[in-house]
Structure 1
Amino acid sequence: MNRLPHCCAPLQHHWPLPHPVPGAVLVSCAFDPANLAADDFRRAAIEPTPSLQRSVAKRQAEYLAGRVCARAALQRLDGRDYLPATGDDRAPLWPAGISGSITHGKGWAAAVVARSSDCQGLGLDQENLLETERAERLMGEILTADELQRMDRSQLSLTTTLTFSLKESLFKALYPIVHKRFYFEHAELLEWSADGHARLRLLTDLSPLWCHGREIQGQFSLQGDQLLSLVSV
């Protein structure tokens, strides 16, 4: 029987974003690498890879938390007991007919899943708000020239972090569909609002369907200095 690792707090079955996605299930948990126990992988019935065994406690705890959430989300979705492995591209390997995404940040992890018939792609990303000085340094790498021109400098930290996170979520949602990598300069955040709504646009051709100019809706929530974003297609 699968048990919760010592490093993980009880699982939360909830929807921490403003707009529910029909058919999707999200599970999250807090985790603390300081509480990682020697038997946590065995307790959770998760087999660590050799590289994971050699990694630091933080990496082991966040991996455990993310996979525990993913397995619980799949169980809630359709009753299956399935643990996503990791592909050569380091992305989770979901069962046939399932879309999903895993994220983990500072002490928190989550997974979202849905049947592919309900949702073709899902991208979930959690970030800590960038400090203003770091946002200043990174904004030129994350934002396009047009995004920089539209930016409200009074919200520099939030805008830079949000743009980063939504583009990460967009990549996670589309990469399993198009099987083609793309980067920050290949999409732009057109607009976002305080109610958690966002709109993005592709600036490159990824496939005949996902081409330059295609617009995609996103959403986000902000709790303290923790930002969570989701792109579903």
Structure 2
Amino acid sequence: MLHTLLPCDVVVVEAEDGMWEGYLHPDEATSIARAFPGRRREFTAGRACARAALARLGVTPRPLLCDADRVPQWPPGTTGSITHCDGYCAAAVAWQAKVRGVGIDAEVLTPLGKEVELICSPAELQGGVQAGLPAAFVANVIFSAKESFYKCYYPLARQFLEFSDVEIIVIDDGCFEARLVNHSLPDMLGFRHCRGRFALHQGHVFAAVVL
């Protein structure tokens, strides 16, 4: 599904059954050795998806380790993003010469509770409904859109974000614009907003942005 939300310059690989228990480079395995089994499965699937996607770009396989900020250290000249939720995992990669940054997110589509007030502004919720989204899942779309924006933003700006720092404007049923509205925060290579796409599919919400 995520590949339908991204341009052709971005390679997307979704996890297949064998990837959840697949191979990890020893250095990757060391970095996740103390994690719970569920987290190790997600990590393993994410690395398998990333290796497969990079291979499609023609990049020689190598360990995909994280830096001190827990950001994957993509091979020189490439950029990427990994997402996982219950039963789903995917990676998206691209050459930086064609894509400055990418962020993907997948979430199980379940109604949110009181946390909606922390994630979404009244204007964002109203805008989603006016754009034609099912009222019960507007908050899910906004949450996933903000997560995908953050995954694109943080590796470039190295700045944590609060939900209120970003405004999501749902343009129609499938597209949104993410705007960095806290003007005290650094931009992304001169950009303070970007377009993204989303989809509701088989009990999940998917969102993706590129810069």
Range into which the TM-score falls when normalised by the shorter chain? 0.7 to 0.9
Structure 2 unaligned segments of length 5 or more: list them.
none
AA aligned to 1:144 is: S
Matching residue of 1:94: 74
Q: Does 1:203 align with 2:189?
A: no
Map 1:15-164 → 2, pairs under 5 A: 16-31=2-17, 36=21, 40=22, 43-50=23-30, 52-131=32-111, 135-152=112-129, 155-164=134-143
Higher-RCO chain (CA-CA 8 Å, sequence separation at least 6): 2
Give the Å deviation of 1:74: 0.7
CA distance in 1, matches of 2:175, 2:96: 23
AA aligned to 1:187 is: V
CA contact (8 A) 1:74 1:82 kept: no
1:18 is paired with a residue whose SS is helix
AA aligned to 2:124 is: E
TM-score (norm 2): 0.86
TM-score (norm 1): 0.78
Share of identical aligned residues, percent?
29
Q: Taking structure 1 as reference, are residues 75 and 127 closer, same or farther at Cα in structure 2, changes over 3 Å only? A: same
- Structure with max Cα Rg: 1
Residue by residue, what CA displacement relative to the aligned partner does 1:87-110 show, whole Å, maximum 9, x if unpaired? 221121112211100111111111
| 91-100 or 202-211, larger mean C-alpha shift | 202-211
CA contact (8 A) 2:27 2:65 kept: no
CA distance in 2, matches of 1:59, 1:20: 27
Q: Does 1:185 align with 2:164?
A: yes
Q: Which one of 185, 195, 203 corresponds to residue 217 of structure 1?
A: 195
AA aligned to 2:176 is: A
AA aligned to 1:170 is: F
Q: Taking structure 1 as reference, are residues 157 and 82 closer, same or farther at Cα in structure 2, changes over 3 Å only? A: farther
2:69 is paired with a residue whose SS is coil
AA aligned to 1:215 is: H
Backbone CA RMSD of aligned residues:
2.7
| 16-25 or 62-71, larger mean C-alpha shift | 16-25
